[in-house]
Structures are given as structure tokens and as C-alpha cells.
Structure 1
Amino acid sequence: MSAGNAASTEQVFDRVTRRIAPVWPLDSFVAVNPYWGFADRPFAEVAAQLQGTAGERVIMDRRWYADLVQKGKLTLPDILKAAESLDLSTNEEEWRDYLRTSPESPMRLPTLPELMDRHGHASIAQYVVEQISRFLAAYYDRGQSLWSYPKDPKLGLFGSWRQYTIVDRSLGPMGLKAIRPQLLALSPDGAEARRWAQQTLAIPKVAEEAYFLVLLKSVGGWASWCRYLLWQAEMQGGSHQDLVDLLAIRMVWETLLHQTARPKVLERWQQQIQGWIRADKSADLEESRRGEALLCASEIAYRRQVASVIRRQPARPKTGVEATPLVQAAFCIDVRSEVFRRHLEGVMPTLDTIGFAGFFGVLLDYRRQGDFAPRTQTPVLLNPGVHVEEQGPGPIIQRRFRRLRRSAEWKHFKLSAASCFSFVETAGLSYIGRLLADTLGWHRPSLPPDEAGLSAAERASLQCVLPASLSLQERVSMAEFILTGLGLNRGVAPVVLLIGHGSSTTNNPHRAGLDCGACAGQTGEVNAKAAASLLNDPRVREGLVAKGWNLDPNCCFLPALHDTTTDRVEILGGLDEPRLNIEILTELRVALEKAANLTRLERMLRLEPDLQDSQVVARNMGFRARDWSQVRPEWALAGNAAFIAAPRWRTREMNLAGRAFLHDYDVGKDPDFAVLTLIMTAPLVVANWINLQYYGSIVDNQRQGCGNKVLHNVVGGTIGVLEGNGGDLRIGLSEQSLRDSNSGLQHEPLRLSAFIEAPKEQMDEIIEGNETLRQLVDNRWICILQISPEGTIYQRQAVGQWNPI
């Protein structure tokens, strides 16, 4: 192969692997846009490509939309309006006929193992995925397996798989022993193996890239894991070869089967590839464009609902003493905060809430005492710049270590090969108490890592300390960044509450997915504590005042944590501050409890609508957090559809049903648009990831979701889950997080609509200046709308083209 051809081939491999979105491990599970690798292409084109290659659905079936029309939830005028915006036919009768007919499944690219499957025999296609998955689970194990897989770093992923497969005894029962000599003759180098497989398969050039993508998608969960490893390496300026090695493994499997398959199977395989090449792809694209029109019509209907509740002017402008509230409570923009904020403002009119990304502007990582490496507490799109350390009394740290060690030893005893079968007999009747406690929910929920091994008093004594290497000037700059982001340029209240969020669950591998996405799948406790500590620092306060900040000397910043399962808000520290106003604190505590009751009552309507008594509801929510069999402790972010960046008065007292990310933003306090740039390039993109993870998990749960939670088994310690005891690594959200048997879907598949109160020209400039954001907007993965100063809503169509809705 010439140098030019080799370079071209490597470019093909690189493009294929870049189409895969990453998946984060269970202990830092964050929502990911599953179409991230396709953001550079228009939505409808991607839908047609994925449906016509891997058979992956990107748009709901037209029959689903026809049902919405029949129920009156979707109207033909909205469909025609959407069709017009996408340059499609606006003939009403034509659309009626379209909704009445059933869609035809497009031809997709077949892989060789699928054509080798025979009725009544074990599936070759399934075996290939199982064999690769078993190997990868052992290879990447993070401490779950008691017997670790022996790895040779020199071999790499492909070389290790080759070595594993040569001695794999499962080949015989599948009738595949003949591939062993071919594998022995194959180079252990992944790059050479890819080139050999490419030449042997001889896929026509026009279909080659699509075929390789289908192969990688056949082990898409593990491909996403390898993409995560590459993502992490590139964030640190490095690289990682495992993803292309995984592609090599899948290509080599295809090639080995190619050399052992019957001639008739090979002939049929080649015919189907040729048929796919000759097939009219324009029909698939037209079908996807029509599907997008139906999706767009649903979004038009939802935007109209949001536009109807956005205020055109403040209900009652504050003047004089009222201008500065007694308390300002800063919440994460998470949609679950919208419900709590609304009720908290209602029960305490002298309080204002603020919406800001849950990391509170502190780009940090955090290392507990005794940990070998820090963990990220920053949006995964960004690199942490501040290293925060845990600080506390030595005896407490030692006690935590001893408790955690005893717990680990007990677990090892239960699971080890020597004792697992005799455990019940050994434990005997003494274990009945624990079984009853698990069943009746008498114990505490599973503890997050920062609480495990600690009593409440011990936990309160630990602090999150900024590094001593940070100069006073750097600390003051950080404080300015936080205050500016929170919109506290002026009028800071006597008490400012910084409220992170987390969730309480038991026996839930995806518990981190219920915590803060802005804190990389952790609770916001560390970020709230670090920000409050910084802003309470007397030297920092002096530096802020010297730079012109109008801060009341008695102003006190308190960290807190909102538990989104129980809706309890816990104040985490700062109560011993001498400047803290006790009367205000007492009023605040009462308001937090009242707001929690109202929030629980509202959320329970979606969980168990028959429960209406506040005390019964509170007990039920607490039990959900402790119940080891609960598959749905809360609905999390199901239903999310809007992102609103505007002054709070635009939406205050308005019921957005927990479907909107609320980010406070006042353009009058942002003269250089630095905060607007941050909002549009970080929190907005994170919200897009969350939105499209829910979207993808709804429209194709088989490929972008993780199936039935009841069947999940953790693999690799913290890598992810399998559904059942084998198959591909499952990604995305479970069915139980999206729907229930009584009320059906709890998440409506809509792309995110972002309402932002800022000048159109400035938003255009930010979009054009950020390649990631530009692709998401221009290719219709997200919709940008402007709230004008008068309250009129304009939708962005292109640079400089904004149309009123």
C-alpha cells in the first residue's frame, strides 16, 4: 500500500471512530449527547444515515405522531408551519395521507455474522459481541473481579484480544475452531491487522466507511467506553489507541468469518452490499426530513406554551428597601430546581432565587485525604484549573479508613470463591435482621463517597480547602468570576445560600446520573463549600471591596445541598459565622421546609398520584431513597425541553412543570458579554447533552438506552452495566427512567429550545465564534430563540435572520 493510500485509510478509520460519543463510568456518570460525533452534519441527514446503515432510529415513528394528531396534542397547522420552515410540501391532504400510511423500513448494511446465523443454531452475530464483551470486561476491570486479567502493556488492546482469543475455549462449541490458525498467523499489531482486514474484506470504497461504522456500532457500548478513554487522554493533551484497536478487533472478526463462511453466504453478503450501494438514498433522506418536520411541529407547540408564560414586564418592580432581598438562594440550573425555586419564592417573598450551573464557576478537582488521585467536579467539557483538598482532624480520617476497609473485607468475604456458596450457612440467622432492614427500608440510603464511613458530625468537621499556592489576587479574581456569574454585581443579600444538589438512592448503579451533571456526575457539595469558603474569606472580601464591589460586611455565604429524591435542603456549614443573622436563618429554615413539602406534593403527582397528604408523601419519598428494590426513586430530568437564560422576573411565579433549565442572566450586568459567552458555550452545551441523551434513549432505547433496569449487572466495578449476563455494554437511560406502565412516556422527545435574553447580534457572534456551538445550532441539534427587551420571542434561522414566533 502506498503512503498516500495508507494515509487515506487512516483518515477513514479516524472519521469512523470520531462518530462515536463517549460514555462516562458509573461513579461519574453524566448525560452525553449520543449524536455528538455527528454534530457537524444536519439532523435529517444523520437520521437517514444511521437508519440506513446501522438501523438506528433517530426520529420517532410517524405512527407515534399520527397518534398525537388523533388525540389533539399535535395540529396540522403546526405541521404545515414546520414543513414550510424545512422547505417541504405544505399540502394538507398530502400530510394527512402521509400520517395514515405505514413507513417502509430502509435497506441497511448487513454484517457477515448476521447472514451466517441459522435457525435452530446459536447466533454467530450474538456470539461475536459476547466474546468481545467478555474480553473487554476482564481487560478493563476496575477492581470488581477478584482475579484480575493479566495484561501486558506492550501488547495493547488488540494484541491482548488476539492472545485471549487464541486460547478461548468457546470457539469450539460454536464451530469456529478453524479461525485459530489464522489468528496465530496474524500480526499482534492493531494497525497491521486493520489493513489486512480491509484488504481481505474488499468492501467497495463507496460503502467502506459506512460498513466500518456499522461494525463499530455492533459493539457500540464498548466503543463509547473506548471513546471516553480517548476523550480523557485528549483533554490532557495526549492520545489513546484503544478505540481504533476495538475497530481492528471487530474488523478481524469479520475477516476471520469471511474466510470460513460458506460460498453461498458470501455471495448473498456481497449482493446485499451492492444492493445497498445502488439503493436510492434520496428516499431515505426525504423520509427523515418529513420526520423532522413532525418533530419540529411538536417543538413549535411546546415553544408556544413557554412563550405564553414568559413575562413582558415585572409583576411588581421592587424599589427602595425591597430592592435587596433578605436571602438570595443560588440553585443549579437543573430542571428539578425549577420546581423547588418556584415554591421557595412563594413561601418567602423576601427571598430571591438565582439559577447558575451547579459548579458555581469554580473549575476544580477534589482529592479526599487518602485518595491516590483527585476526581473532577467540573463540567466534562472543561478542564479543572483549581485543585481542592479535603482537610480535617487526623483521627476522623483514620476512623473513616478503618470503617471502609472493614466494609471492603466483609464484601470480599461474601463474594470470594472460597466462601460465597457457604455464606448463608455461615451467617445463619444473624443475617435475618439485615435482610429485613433491606426489605422494609429501615436503613439509610446508599451513601455517596464523601459521606461513606463518616457520621454526620464527622462529615461536618471536614473542609474543602483551596490550595495554598493560589495567591490572594487569584482568589479575588475567582470570587469576582463567581459573583459576576451569579449576577451579584450589586445588591447582595445579608444571607446568600449556595445550593448544590445530589440524590439519595439504594442499590442503583446509575446513582451518579441523578447527581449534578455540571459537577461531572458528583453532588455539588464540594463546589458549594469551596465557593462559600472563598467568598467568606476576610482577605478576599477586603480585596473585592478594594476593587469596587459593594458587599455588606455582614453578608454571609452558606453552602447547602438539595437532595432531589427527598427534596430536603441541608445547610452544610457556615452556621458559626459571627456575622450570620440568626433571625433570617430561622425564617429561611422554615421556608425551606415548607417549600420541600410543596415540591414533594407536586413531584408525587407523577410518581404516585393517589398520595396527597404531605406527611405521607414525605415518608414515601424517604422510603424511595432507602428501598433497594425501587427502580424509580425520582424522575430526574425526564421532561426537559427548554433552557431559559433571562432575569428571574421573566419566569417568577410561572409554572414551567420542571421542564426548563433556568439560568439567571441580566445583560445589563454583563457589559462585555463574558457571562453570556460562558452560558452559551458551557451550560447550554451541557443542557444539550442532557436533552439529547433523554431524546436518544426514548427514540431508540435498544441502541441509545440501557433497557430494563431490573436486569442490569454491573461490569468492571464502575465501567457500566450489562443487561442480563452478557451482550454489549449498555449506555444511556433505562426504560424505567423514561416511562411507566400507568401514564406512559414521562419524557417527550423534543430537541432543546434555548430562550436567551440578549442582543441578536451578540448571540450570532458567539455562535459563529465557537465551532461546537455553531454546528449544534446550524445543523438543528438545538434551537436558539431571543427574548427581546419587550418580551417578543424571535427564533434564529441563520446569521442575522431572526423571525418572530
Structure 2
Amino acid sequence: MGVASAVMKEDFKKKTRSIHLEIREISVLVESASQVIAPLWPISSFAARNPWLGLEKLSFDQVAGGLKHNHDVDIYPSASMILSAKKKGEIDEANVGVELQRWLDSQSLSIPRDVAERFCQAALKLEALPSELLSSREVEKLVGEVGGLNTEGVETCSMQPISSQIENQDREKLVHLLDHHMIKWCKLYLDNSQAGWTMPNREEGFYRAWQRLVRYDPALTKVQRDSLKDWPQEPQKALERALVRLEISESDIQSYLEGHLLSLPGWAGMMLYRSRQNSHEHALLTEYLAVRLSLEWALVKPYLPLTNQPAEKKVSMTSLLAAWIQWGELTLEEWSQLSATEQNEYLLFAYKFDKKLCRKLWLEAWEQTYTERLSQKLLSKQQEINYKKSSLAQFAFCIDVRSEPFRRQLEKQGPIETIGIAGFFGLPIATSELASNHSHASLPVILKPQHKIKESADDKELQSYQQRKQAVNSLSYTFKTMKQNVLPSLLLPELSGPWLSLQMVARSFVPKSANRLIRNVRETWLRKPNTKLTLNHTNRTKAEVPVGFSEKEKVNYARQALKMMGLTENIAPLVVICGHGSSSINNPYASALDCGACGGAAGGFNARVLAALCNLPEVRKELAAEGIDIPKDTVFAAAEHNTTVDELGWLYVPELSEAAQEAFDYIEAIMPKVSQKANEERLAQLPNFQSQLKNPQAEAHRFAEDWSEVRPEWGLARNAAFIIGPRELTQDCDLEGRAFLHNYDWKQDKSGELLANIIAGPGTVTQWINLQYYASTVAPHYYGSGNKATQTVTSGLGVMQGNASDLLTGLPWQSVMQSDHEAYHSPLRLLIVIQAPSKYIERLLKNDSAFREKVQNGWVRLASMNPQGHWKNWY
């Protein structure tokens, strides 16, 4: 025993000497490990996120395999989802056969092709193996005669936290206890003014604040606290010491850190987000890992060194043999007659053609079925494209899938043309509303604001409005302060009880009337005056984002937007720049129903800014000199499409010309019918809505204003395609609200720059939205956020299930599921369709290596239509 102990001590000394990392090396390792998680935005500025953002250098299937093997997370649709889609006619079974043949062709088969094919076709029925077969004594006997299966090169594994390998006396894995501690500390540090008492010394950083408090943590034993008493002051040194004490070899460090980040990807993702937002928190993820591994050391120290190494996951030989008997129609006698080599080859084939691969082939067939049906719709329109079309009015909508049905209904009512463009309209701005000291970014989260635009009003009106707004804010602040302090909180129920009780009863039984009354009282009291926008550049220090635009920038942004919309000729008398937003009550995910790309910012403010720029005489004069001649009687206005109730609200209507006034009056006349038809189509998709019994518009408002409604609208569920081409290509096509639509005319894009910008910007954003919905559907327990009814808003940042879960990263169950057992969202990877000659696509793929990587590795699918109407799938 003494010799063994001496040997272990010597080994420990060697490992201690082998791990001596510089701060730079620690930072590099943490940065590399962080690729397995994605930044998580606060829920108040919810932005769709690709949970596999840092893993796109790997194929989708490789990531799926790694997540399943190391974390038991499936990212292919479940068998029940696939069979449901098949039953609804969403999957052409012929495509399953095509995908199977393609896979078989890619394999070096060691067994007869017909035997392999028969096995695969039976396995693809996705039926479970009979339990009596799996427990059969005859099968067990034959399995005992087979040697181990050689799976070298088929599967890899990564290093898991040591705490996941140890159970305490209560049979609880220490990694779960470690997670519980980390959730507590993360909530304390990241709290966004929700807690009454803030974490002491938070300004010194996460690690230093934790180190000062952990020695008093009653949730740790005295021995555990003592083990951290002399811990390093710097997070990098603490992380290094923890790795040494845990005896992690230098070659395993990155994999080990990855395992810890994936244990709580939500809280880790929020730390990653914060580290990229604030320069003083740039090392926050390192601090997070330093705290986590330091705590792990304190928890696992009594159990070290581990005497029993974790066993490798064993292949179930019984299930492989049972699969051949059930699906390969192989009898026990036929199996016994095979040689040992043949038996190994048969088992290895069954091992490769597993449940994951079956579901992969079904997914690809599902995607191909959608592609074929979409291509049929678009190809039928190919010959009808007419680029020269006179319109009474032109509407520029966001590419959001919810705009598609509304646009279709609007166009049916008369000579109105609609245009698709990214909903921030190419304006990289932060907005500051009237009487506000704060601004918020109003552009996709992948970009940074370059300008700040403020609302202004006459001094007298502004002063009066500020006073009224300050009174409302003071009342809100007082109420919150009283709630969070011991003595005032005892008095608060007596003061607020009658009013809050009345409000609760009213909102429960007459929600629409109650909310209208509350809203009217608030608006009447505030009486926001008419405002102007600070479009002109004002000098600021270099550290600040400049307010307004220079004269050159005004022209540049107007030109860029008009070109992206294809609006350089045949401009109508009235052009409406139309943003979009949503409205709902008591909904933590309200911002998720605004723009999916812009961190919960609605698009109305940007629409107003662009419309104002395009109305400026000096801007029009410069554009005319460049060949973009805006007619004198053309007026730009701004509006916002409320996606929850499918109504249009005007935000900015300047003095109209006679022709523009005629167009405006016409739009006002048809808009009730447009809203009615759009609501009929949209609400029919919501569960339990009976259109023949209920008024669609009244129901839409009830969904928006009922505080018990968990599903005010479907959001971007069922999104599946991003179509880049002229509106004539998709006009009159019922795309079922599943397609992002961006205008594009390849004839006006000789250099390919417009297409490259669309792919780099909106293309990235639509992919993130698509994968957010995909992940929340196929793995809701890991990438979703569970049932809305049981969520807890925590730290002003996001939601948890209960009071000690991971910070949930994705969409709630009600955003993607029709019922407890039926998915509404179809988890298909985004199909990008470009209407352009093949040489444009080739140039795009050659010049944009990141996009080429996404296509080749299966993160998006790509198809194109050339001018002759030929459809091509790429890769």
C-alpha cells in the first residue's frame, strides 16, 4: 500500500510539472473550448441563436454523433416526429429509398448488397425491437459465443468532468451538486437589477467576488471551504491549479473544459455573451471555468485518486444480433453457420446502420420532399416573371416568414407591389426614444451600431412629457423597492392589494377590455408629443457612437437600401417602408416575437428613419445624379406590421402628393379586409381555433391581450426556406408562411456584391433562426426552455424551470409544439434558393468560404434557379 501511494505521489509530481500554462495559453484553450457553446442574449433582447455556431467546421452528422455519444443529446428528429410527418404526407417515401441507395453506394460493403438492403429497409420502418427477442436465452447464448466487436474508427469520445464519474453517499452524482452551486453563483453575479441586494464586490469580477464569499458559503462543508482558503487570487492561476490537482493532462485540457461548458450551456453561454459585450469582462468565461473547476476540486477531493476508471460505453451485441434476426430475417441456424469473420462484419454493419442513421436518412428525405414541392411551385411561376410593373403603391416588408401571408393578401386587393428586405433596412443604428437616457441597438445582433438616432420635440412639450414619464417611472421604482425591502414589503399589500386584485379580476375575465382601458389611461396620461428624428450629424467624442448621419452617409444608406430592394426604377407614388413587431401580455418571450434577428427590437423606428432619408431633397438630388431618379410626386411613408393581430399601424406619414394621397386612401380602404384574411389564415393554424364559430380579428386581439394565453402567435415556427429573387417568382404562391423572402435581381448585380451581402447578412440571420427552431424542437430538454407555465424568470436575464436549472437557451414548448405529443414546427434545415445563373452561385461559393463550409457540412441546403428555369441542388 505504501509503495502504491509513493508511486501515485510521484506520478502526481510529474503531472504537476507537465502542466505549467502561461496566461496566454489558458486564454487560447478557453477560447477554443468555447466553440462548443454559443452566446446567449438576455431574454429582454432575445435573438435567435445557432446553438452550434462554433462547430460548423464539422459536419452536421459529426456534431450529432458527438452530442449523442458524449451527452446523450439527439439532434435528429425523433421517430415519432418522422412517422407523424409521414402520416401527414410531408415525406415522400420514394425519397427515403433514394437516400438509402446513396448511402449504400458510399459504403465499402463486406456483406451481400441485397442482404444489406433488406436489413436497412426493415430498420427504416423505425419499429422497436421486440422485448422478448432482446431477452431471448437463445440470442444471449449466441452473443456469448461472439468475441468483442471491433469499432475502431467508427466512434470517438471526449473527456467528461471527473465529478460526473463520482456519486456521493446519497447516490447523487457530484456533477449535479456542482451544477447547483454554479447556478447559485451565476445568478448572483449576473443579476440584472432584479435582486434587492446585489453581490458584494461584483465590480472586481466574477472570480474575485466568488473567492471572497465562498469561504462563508454554508452549502459547503468546513473541509471543502478550507480546501479553497489559500486558492490563487487570479482566475487563470486558479484554473491552472484546479487542472493540476484534478490531474488533467495537458493534451486533455481543452476537451475537459468543453465538457464543463456543455454541462450548463445556458449559464456558460450568458458568460460568453457578456465577455463579448464589455471590455472589462473579456475574461469572464475564463473566470467562470476557474470558479467551476475550483469548486469541482473541493467536491471531489475526498474521492481522489479514482480507483475505478469510467468504463467505456459497451456496444450492445444483443441488440445488434436481434436486429439481424428481426430486420435481416436471419434465423439462429443461419447465424450459427456464419464464420467468426462474417459474424463480425454483419454486426459491424448493424452497428453502423443504427437508429441515428435511420433518422438521418428520413430527415434528408423529408427535406428533399419539401425541396421538390417548393421547386414545383416556383418553376410554375418562372415563365410569368415580368420585371416592369406599374403599381399604385410599393411596400417594403421585412423578410420575416410572417410577412409572407400578409403580403400575399395585400397584393390580392389591387395594384400593390411588395418587396422583401432585411427588416433593419440596412441602417446600423441605435435608437433613443423621447425623454430616454438609454439607447438600444436596432439591427441584427451580428452587427454593431454605427450611429445613434434620437427622437426630439419642442422644448415645452418635451419638458412636460419628461415630468409625466418621470412620475410613472418613480411609481414603478417605488413599488419595486418596497417589494424588495423587509419592512416596506409588509405594508405594500395593504396599499396595492385592492388595485392589483381589481386588475387581476379584470384581466382574467375581460382581458381585452381591461388591457384597452389600462393602455388608454397610460397613453392619455403620458400624451407623447409628435417627435422629430435627429438625422443630422452632431459632433461627439470619439468614444461615443455619433448622433445622426453626415450628408454623404444619408445618401449612402438611402442608395444601399433602394438597391437591396431593387427599387431603382418604376417607383410608385407611395412607398411604404414597413417594419414589424408584436404585442402580447405576460409573456417572457415577447421579444422573441419581434424581429428574430434584432435582439427583440421592432423594425418601426428603422422604417421611419429610412423613409425620412428618402424624402430629403438633398438625398434625392444626389441619387438622381447617380441614375436613381425618384419621381417628384413619390412620397415615402413608414408603418409597422403587428404580426400578432396582422394589422398595419402608420408611424410616419408626411405631406402627401395627390397621387400618393390616392394610394394612401386606397390602402386605408382595403386594410380591414387584408387583416381579416391574414388573420383567418394564421389563426387557423393555432390549436383549438374554430374559424366558423369565432371572429378571427377579435380572437387575434384576445390572444394578444389575454395574460393566460401561452401561445399568442406561432412566431417563425415552420420556417423552412429563404428565397432570394424577384417578387414575381413567388407572387400568388401560397408558401404557407414558411419562407423568408428577399428581393434580388441578378441582372442588376453584375459584380455579385449584392448577393454576397444578402448571404452574409440576412442569410446568416435566417440560418440562426432556422436552427434555433430546429434545436428547440428536436432536443427541447437541452436546447429549448420547457413549458411556459412552469418557467421562472431569473436575474432579469432569462428563464429557468424551477429555481435551480440551467439558464434555458431556446424556445418554449408552446412555440414549436401543437400539443404534448405533436410537433407543429417541422425540423428541416434551411433551404436557400437563389434565382440567378449558376456562375453567380459558383462565384459566391468560391469567394465566401464560410458559406461554402455551411453548405458542404450540411448546416444549410442550397438550390438555384437559372433564367432558363433549370433547378439545381448544390452539394
- TM-score between both structures, scaled by the size of structure 2: 0.83
Q: Which residue of 1 aligns with 2:300?
A: 258
Structure 1 residues 63 and 205: CA distance shift in structure 2, 3 A: farther
State whether structure 2 residue 646 is matched by structure 1 residue 646. Answer: no
1:597 aligns with 2:636: no
Asked if the contact 1:366/1:375 (under 8 Å) is kept, the reply is: yes
Match of 1:309 in 2: 377
Paired with 1:48 and 1:284, the residues of 2 have a C-alpha distance of 13
Aligned to 1:391: 456
Distance in 1 (alpha carbons) for counterparts of 2:66 and 2:385 = 52
> Paired residue for 1:461, among 515, 530, 541?
530
Separation in 2, partners of 1:281, 1:230: 45
Partner SS state of residue 193, structure 1: helix
Q: Distance in 2 between matches of 1:144 and 1:212?
A: 30
Measured against aligned partners, the alpha-carbon deviations of 1:334-392 in whole angstroms (never above 9, x if no partner) come to 000011011111122x0011011100111111123454443111111122222211212
Aligned to 1:402: 471
User: Following TM superposition, by how much is the alpha carbon of 1:303 offset from its aligned partner in structure 2, in angstroms?
Assistant: 0.7
Match of 2:311 in 1: 272
* Partner of residue 162, structure 1: 211
* Structure 1 residues 252-273: Cα deviation after superposition (integer angstroms, max 9, x where no partner): 222222212277xx333x2337
2:63 is matched with which residue: 24, 37, 46? 46
Residues 357 and 314 (structure 1 numbering): CA distance in 2 closer, same or farther, change over 3 Å? same
- Correspondence 1:292-691 to 2 at 5 A: 292-313=360-381, 323-348=389-414, 350-393=415-458, 394=462, 395-439=464-508, 440-441=510-511, 442-444=513-515, 454-455=523-524, 458-459=527-528, 461-469=530-538, 470-577=549-656, 581-608=660-687, 610-612=689-691, 616-691=695-770
Structure 2 residue identity aligned to 1:552: P
Are the counterparts in 1 of residues 865 and 872 from structure 2 also a CA contact under 8 Å?
A: yes
SS at match of 1:243: helix
Q: Report the secondary structure of 2:851's partner residue.
A: helix
Distance 1:313 1:180, change over 3 A: closer
Q: How far does the alpha carbon of each residue in 1:221-270 deviate from its partner, in whole angstroms, 9 at most, with x for none?
A: 11110111233358xxx97111122122222222222212277xx333x2
Once the two structures are superposed, residues 159-202 of structure 1 have per-residue CA deviations (whole angstroms, 9 ceiling, x without a partner) of: 2222222211122xxxx432111111211311112111212222
Return the alpha-carbon distance in structure 2 between the equivalents of residues 2 and 113 of structure 1. Answer: 23
Question: Does 2:226 align with 1:181?
Answer: yes
**Contact 2:430-2:452 within 8 A present in 1 as well:** yes
What SS class does the counterpart of residue 453 from structure 2 fall into? strand
Report the secondary structure of 1:354's partner residue.
Answer: strand
The farther-off stretch of 194-203 and 599-608 is: 194-203
The aligned residue for residue 240 of structure 2 is 195
Pairwise CA distance, 1:658: 0.6
Tell me the SS of whatever aligns to 1:756.
Answer: strand
Amino acid at match of 1:193: A
How far off is 1:474 after superposition? Answer: 2.2
AA matched with 2:310: Q
Separation in 1 of the partners of 2:674 and 2:370? 27
Would you say how many aligned residue pairs link Structure 1 and Structure 2? Answer: 777
Native 8 Å contact 2:595 2:603 kept in 1: yes
Using the alignment, how far apart are the partners of 1:380 and 1:215 within structure 2? 26
CA–CA distance in 1 between the matches of 2:348 and 2:268? Answer: 27
Structure 1 residue 713 displacement after superposition: 1.7
1:16 to 11, 18, 33: 33
Q: CA deviation at 1:107?
A: 8.1
Aligned partner of residue 307 in structure 2, secondary structure: helix
Structure 2: which 5+ residue stretches go unaligned? 1-16, 108-112, 135-154, 316-346, 539-548
Mean Cα displacement is larger for which, 577-586 or 327-336?
A: 577-586
**Greater displacement, 590-599 / 306-315:** 306-315
Instruction: Output one character per residue of 1:588-624: Cα deviation in whole Å (capped at 9) or x when no partner.
Output: 1122221111111011111145432597221111111
Paired residue for 1:25? 42
1:519 alignment partner, SS class: coil
Give, in whole Å, the separation in 2 of the partners of 1:289 and 1:207.
Answer: 29
Contact persistence 1:112–1:257 (CA under 8 A): no
Note the C-alpha offset of 1:29.
0.6
Contact 2:777 2:817 in 1 (8 A): no
* Aligned residue type for 2:772: Q
Equivalent-residue separation in structure 1 for 2:742 and 2:290 (angstroms): 44
CA distance in 2, matches of 1:317, 1:80: 35
**3-state secondary structure, aligned to 2:402:** helix
Distance 1:374 1:521 in 2: 13
Partner residue in 1 for 2:98 = 81
Question: For the residues of structure 1 that align with 2:553 and 2:225, how far apart are their CA atoms?
Answer: 61
Please tell me whether the aligned partners of residues 165 and 310 of structure 2 are also in contact (alpha carbons under 8 angstroms).
no
CA distance in 1, matches of 2:591, 2:382: 38
**Backbone CA RMSD of aligned residues:** 3.2
* Aligned-residue offset at 1:414: 4.2
Match of 1:97 among 99, 106, 122: 122
Judged with a 3 Å threshold, the aligned counterparts in structure 2 of structure 1 residues 284 and 482 are, in CA distance, closer, same or farther, namely farther
Deviations 1:52-110 (A, max 9, x none): 22222221234643565577643443123234555546964232232346599998865
Secondary structure at 1:678's aligned position in 2? Answer: helix
Contact map agreement 1:310 1:791 (CA 8 A) in 2: no
1:459-497 deviation digits (Å, cap 9, x = unpaired)? 461233324243322211211111101110111110111
Partner of residue 74, structure 2? 57
Aligned with residue 776 of structure 1, among 854, 859, 872: 854
1:801 alignment partner in structure 2: none
Q: Answer whether contact 2:189 2:202 (CA < 8 A) is retained.
A: no
Question: Distance in 1 between the 2:416 and 2:447 partners?
Answer: 32
Secondary structure at the aligned position of 2:553 is classed as: helix
Alignment partners' CA distance in 1, 2:701 and 2:815? 19
Residues 134-153 of structure 1: pairs in structure 2 closer than 5 A: 134-153=184-203
Measure how far apart 1:628 and its partner are.
1.2
Identity %: 28
Which amino acid is the alignment partner of residue 525 of structure 1?
G
1:800 maps to what in 2? none
Report deviation, 1:9.
Answer: 5.7
C-alpha distance in structure 2 between counterparts of 1:67 and 1:607, whole Å:
18
Contact between 1:223 and 1:246, CA under 8 Å: does it hold in 2? yes
